[in-house]
Structure 1
Amino acid sequence: MRGLKIFSLAFFSYLALSLYANYFDGELAEVIYSRGLEPSMLLLGTVYAVAFFSVFALGYVSRIKLSPAFLAVLFLVLSFHDFPVVPTLAVLVLIAYRLRINPFRLFPHISLLVALLIPLSLYIVIGVPFFERALRYELVGPLVLAAILAVIGMAYSKVSLRWKTFLVAVYSILFFLGTFRSLVLLVYLAYFLVVYLDYPELRRWLAALSTVPLFLILGMSGGLNAVLVRIGFTFLVFHNLVRLSLPWGFFHGALLFSDNPRHLVASMFGASTNYTYFFFGQPIADFGILGILEAFLLGTFLYNSERSKESFVVVLSLMLYSLDPGVDAFVMLFIAGTLLFLASEPDVT
């Protein structure tokens, strides 16, 4: 139940902050609603958020062991969000699985290195978003890939904690320059989970260590109020997705397989930027009330990840990261891939 407890704490903390920003602070609410969405009591969004979480938890406690065949098919289907490059790579991954090769375990150091080289190369060749804000969304895809590779390397690598601490500091600087606070948070989530699982004697220091990403994110956002506005607006978007997508969905799968789902959501409301849409936003926007099936599946993903510490770190980090921006095919692809390779290994506690 460890994974469900951690996710539940994060989920309901996020939900509480979003409701505070929309209801209990008039100045924050005024900023949140200044973007054009109609004021709302948010009751519908809150009810569906809790209902979908309940189904997610049911998927976790059902203790269903997902079959490798199902994971392989799901992995291949998800890869078609970026045809033809990603499906080609997906076929190579499935071949590796059939050969019982887990690249996550074989090449974690390469994963850590590539996670450094991707942003460095982009900044040298194209430019640094911190200094050229117009580059921010141009580089988002490769930077997300780099952050996920950093998480995988952090989880599977056997390098010392001192090296992992150094690397997470370097990644923080790189993603800070990329202006993506969620990616800074993602690498810290993986680092904290590694410390929590592998170094129990250091757990008492985690609260103090959490001030580092907290101050970084507050600095990147422009202060606590800006963070609360972001959280409150994300939940307002989710509420409106619920309102517009019932009963059978609005996008019917197009959001999950979009190459830029957050832009697609923003365009739905007449904006040209990107809107984050909360953890359960995509299942509801795509499938309406039938999205509970995806919520159930996400819960089974978390349960299945607990067979090994490494897969648990990767899957839980990605799910916690997705609380604000929402789930997409790219993140789901790495979750399914992690579980697929885990299925080829003997049970590990």
Structure 2
Amino acid sequence: MRGLKIFSLAFFLYLALSLYANYFDGDLREIIYSRGFEPSMLLLGTVYALAFFSVFALGYASRIKLSPAFLAALFLVLSFHDFPVIPILAVLVVIAYKLRINLFRLFPHISLLVALLIPLSLYIVIGVPFFERSLRYELVGPLVLAAILAVIGMAYSKVSLQWKTLLVAVYSIVFFFGTFRSLVLLVYLSYFLIVYFDYPHFRRWLLALSAVPLFLVLGMSGGLNALLVRIGFTFLVFHNLVRLSLPWGFFHGALLFSDNPRHLVASMFGASTNYTYFFFGQPIADFGILGALEAFLLGVLLYNSERSRESFVVVLSLMLYSLDPGVDAFVMLFIVGTLLFFSSESNAT
């Protein structure tokens, strides 16, 4: 139950912070509602967040072991969010699975290297978002890919803890210049999970080390109040998605398969930027109350990830990362792909 415990701790901490920002601090509340939303008690959003979390926990507790055939089919379906390139790559991944090749385990060091080369190449050729804010959303896709590859490399590589500590420091600087605090947090999440599971004698240092990503995230956010505004606004967006999507959904799958789901959500409310929409925002916005089935599946995926340390680190890191920005097909591809590769090793064994 350790995966559910860790996720629950993060989930309820996020929920508590979002409700504090919306209810108990008048100054924060005024800023949050300055973007045009009508004042709301957020009761509907809170009820559905708790209800979907209960279904998520039920999926985890069901202890259902997903078949490789189901994972392969789900992987191929999710790949259609970016036709035709991603579906072609997805077919190659399924072929690798059929050959019992775990690409993540086979090339972890290449993954670590590519995770550095992608953002550095973009910064040299296109520009650095830290200095040119207009580039921020232009580079978001490749930067997310780089951060996920860094997580995979950290989880599967056998390099020493000293090297992983150095790498996470380098990644945090690289993604700091990309201006996405969630990506800085993502690489630290994988690092902390690796230390927690593989180096129990260093666990006592994790609390002190957590100050590093905390200060980075606060600095990138503009301070604690600005971070709370971000969290509170994300939950306000989620609440309005719930309000508009009941009972049968608003996007009917278009949000999950969008190549820019956060922009799609923002455009729904008349904005031209990107809106994050909370972990359960996409299931509800796409499918309404039937989105509970997706929440259940997410819980099952988390349970299945615990069958190996590497898959657990990758899947749990990605789910914790998705608490604020929300779930999308791109992140789901890596979650399902991780489990698919592990199943190929299980079958071989």
Q: TM-score, normalised by structure 2?
A: 0.99
Unaligned runs of 5+ in 1: none
Q: Which structure 2 residues correspond to residues 250-261 of structure 1 after superposition, within 5 A?
A: 250-261=250-261
CA contact (8 A) 1:308 1:347 kept: no
Distance 1:117 1:59 in 2: 38
Corresponding residue SS for 2:303? helix
- The match for 1:14 is 14
- The match for 1:99 is 99
The structure-2 alpha-carbon separation of the partners of 1:276 and 1:169, relative to structure 1 and needing over 3 Å to count, comes to: same
- The match for 2:307 is 307
Question: What displacement does 1:153 show?
Answer: 0.2
Corresponding residue SS for 1:64? coil
Asked if residue 28 in structure 1 is aligned to residue 28 in structure 2, the reply is yes
4+ residue runs of structure 1 moved beyond 6 angstroms? Answer: none
Distance 1:290 1:85 in 2: 30
- Identity value in percent: 89
Unaligned runs of 5+ in 2: none
Question: What displacement does 1:344 show?
Answer: 1.2
- The match for 1:293 is 293
- The match for 2:132 is 132
Cα RMSD (Å): 0.9
Deviations 1:253-288 (A, max 9, x none): 000000000000000000000000000000000000
Q: Which amino acid aligns with 2:264?
A: L
- The match for 1:159 is 159
Corresponding residue SS for 1:30? helix
Deviations 1:94-138 (A, max 9, x none): 010000000111100000000000000000000000000000000
Distance 1:37 1:344 in 2: 48
- The match for 1:341 is 341
CA contact (8 A) 1:276 1:324 kept: yes
Deviations 1:207-259 (A, max 9, x none): 00000000000000100000000000000000000000000000000000000
Q: Which structure 2 residues correspond to residues 66-81 of structure 1 after superposition, within 5 A?
A: 66-81=66-81
Q: Which structure 2 residues correspond to residues 179-194 of structure 1 after superposition, within 5 A?
A: 179-194=179-194
- The match for 1:171 is 171
Q: Which structure 2 residues correspond to residues 275-294 of structure 1 after superposition, within 5 A?
A: 275-294=275-294
Distance 2:92 2:344 in 1: 16
Deviations 1:76-98 (A, max 9, x none): 01000001110010010001000
Distance 1:179 1:14 in 2: 21
Distance 1:63 1:38 in 2: 42
Q: Which structure 2 residues correspond to residues 105-144 of structure 1 after superposition, within 5 A?
A: 105-144=105-144
- The match for 1:246 is 246
Question: What displacement does 1:346 show?
Answer: 2.7
Q: TM-score, normalised by structure 1?
A: 0.99
Question: What displacement does 1:347 show?
Answer: 8.6
CA contact (8 A) 1:249 1:285 kept: yes
Corresponding residue SS for 1:41? coil
